[in-house]
Chain A
Amino acid sequence: MRLNDLALGGLSATLGTALLVASLRLPGVRGQEFGAGFYPALIGVLTIAAGAGLMLTGLRQRGVPALRLPGWFTDGWAVANAAILAGAIAIFGAFGETIGFLPFAVVLLFVIQWRLSIPAPRAALIAVLGAIGFQLLFGKLLRVPLPPGLFEGLL
């Protein structure tokens, strides 16, 4: 997802302005010259300046589209894989406690391998062994309290 310089500069300047406005709204502290908003406001101003610089460069560019999607965006298989990647992280972030690490890891290891052309029986075997390995390493050896989820009471 590549923006041309004009669009990237515009986006940066807009975000810089939003940061500046939000920083100026932060409360000051009595008796202190520099409140909590000073530093982020400075970052906001510099972001606006950098964005303006990019926009100026962008104005000199001819024939560069504002937005160019990566080649794989037209490839259904690749888009599905990227969606699985992002979706899996989001699902664990949202429902990790309910699902539990071990069942989640087995499914994820299997799906990713299978999607990337590893035969299903082999992918399944590696997924189960790999997930158990992660569980033992983090759950037992490093004592990270991994959410048991569906395996509550079994682990």
Chain B
Amino acid sequence: MDAVLLAFEHVFSPGTLLVIALASCLGIIIGAMPGLTAVMGTALLVPFTFFMDPVPAIAAIVSLSAMAIFAGDIPSALVRIPGTPGSAAYCDEAYKMTLKGEPWRALGMCMAASSIGGVFGTIVLIVAAPTLALFATKFSSPEYFWLSLLGLTCAAFLAVGSPLRGLLALLLGLFLSAVGIDIATGITRFAFGSTELMGGVDFVPALIGFFAIPELVRLVTSHAETRPKVPKYDGMFRGLGRDVWRYKRQILRGNIVGTLIGALPGAGADIAAWVSYALSRKLSKQPEKFGTGHVEGLAEASASNNAALGGAWVPTIVFGIPGDSITAIVIGVLVLKGMEPGPSIFIKTPDLIYAVFIVFILANLLMVPLGWMVIRASRHILSVPRGTIAAFILVACIIGSYAINNALFDVGLMLAMGALGWFMEENDIPVAPAVLGLVLGKMVEFNFVQTMMKGEGDPLTLVARPIAGILAAVVIGLWLFTAWQAVRRRPAHA
């Protein structure tokens, strides 16, 4: 009980509330700007969190990501450009509603369903996380080895179109995590004589480079200057309650599917939205209305992508295995703050966990008034010139990379990672598995070496304990399933 009170004290301190308000506003603006993603916004936020206590730092990330995922619906509906990948699944549907003269009904439903989805995902997080954490206290190095391998496997194979490209991305991330001094032996690996690299590839410049530079390249090389014609605001609460009640079953289904997909390592809000939209259409009594500006699919998919955010936190805080790119960043931030995510965090700092729960609820409730304000102001937000956005993001990338260690080396590192991220995107190599590899690589290696040392080199030690054996079977099963599918499909490109 003391921990809960302490958590309330943390969250409702003026400083944290200010951080939540500012991060929410930033998230809404980033989400509403076409081309800027929630992950990129979170990556740019990390340098700021470096200067905060753990609770406001995490609160900032939670608020920004929740708001950005919702706000991505605004340009989807008004100008048919998804603000974030999470809104792409139902972009056409929302825009068709605008063409039918119902943009505010579409956005009202997106806002309400997002808020409900976010709260649902949080409730699952509150219920599931402590129970799973209790179970996870029985885990030792072999279980953590297989669990991190399971996370990496899901990220590389399940969430992307091409397993081989996913694997390449993952291996790149694992290699980057191996750069620097090896903790077990004290030997420096692949630092090429650089003292800066002896400490490893710094997470923050790598993250900013991977996610922000490819977006910037797109912004500065495209001629398309969007000056969208946004319809005049005409009220969005009229009939909203009736719509929500009418599609309550769809919203609930979106909540459940979104939370489950979010909890799957490597699969985030965008995949949740695609799956839920497809499911909504399949199970609808009026499937013929889909694609013509029908609110049903919007209700289910926008509930789903926000529910996925909460779901992704379950494996993150319980096992230290990120559910998506945003929670991979959260792990990096927690480690920067000297806190190791995993079951021990429930024992060592329960107030932090309760604070995360409170912030999630708060951010999802704040979504309604802030969402209403931003929808009213969408005409102005969408008219900010692309040049100004690009210029400010570039300076933010440079200063953000520099600020972590006050080192110009990190600015160069960010450029190198940005070039790599751009090359990967050009070749359909997903960036998310590389980030997960970078975050989890050291954990995989450490748990592997520790287990092998415990077993005096006997590889059977890795599967000797029952839970480790089950996890190993799941991981190997996934590998075999992916290989079988790849051989069976024989795609045009791997």
Contact = CB atoms under 8 A, between A and B. Distances in A.
Contact of A81 (B184, B187, B220, B418): B220
B339 interface: no
Given A36-B185, A40-B190, A86-B415, A2 B457 contact: no
Nearest to A87: B415
B158 interface: no
Contacts of A40: 175, 178, 189-190
Determine which residue in A43, A79, A101, A145 has the highest number of CB atoms from chain B within 10 A of its CB, and name it: A43
Contact of A92 (B171, B388, B411, B423): B411
A146 to B, nearest CB: 7
B494 interface: yes
Contact of B221 (A34, A75, A92, A127): A75
A47 B168 contact: yes
B415 A90 contact: yes
Interface residues of A, number: 77
B99 interface: no
Q: Is the interface of A mostly helix, strand, loop or mixed?
A: helix
B385 A50 contact: no
A85 to B, nearest CB: 6
A54 B453 contact: no
Given A85-B220, A90-B412, A116-B390, A46 B190 contact: no
B15 to A, nearest CB: 13
B394 A32 contact: no
Interface in A1-47: 1-5, 8, 12, 16, 19, 22-23, 26-27, 29, 32-40, 43, 46-47
Contact of A36 (B48, B182, B386, B403): B182
B426 interface: yes
Nearest to A29: B185
B277 interface: no
A146 B401 CA distance: 12
Contacts, number: 190
B221 A32 contact: no
A19 B223 CA distance: 40
A57 B387 contact: no
Interface in B261-295: none
Interface in B154-184: 164-165, 167-168, 171, 174-175, 178, 182, 184
A143 B51 CA distance: 9
Interface string B380-417: 00000111101110111111001100101101101100
A5 B190 contact: no
Interface in B414-437: 414-415, 418-419, 423, 426-427
10 contacts: A5-B494, A32-B184, A54-B164, A78-B221, A78-B222, A93-B409, A96-B411, A105-B395, A130-B395, A142-B51
Given A78-B221, A81-B221, 6 more contacts: A40-B178, A46-B167, A94-B412, A114-B387, A116-B391, A118-B388
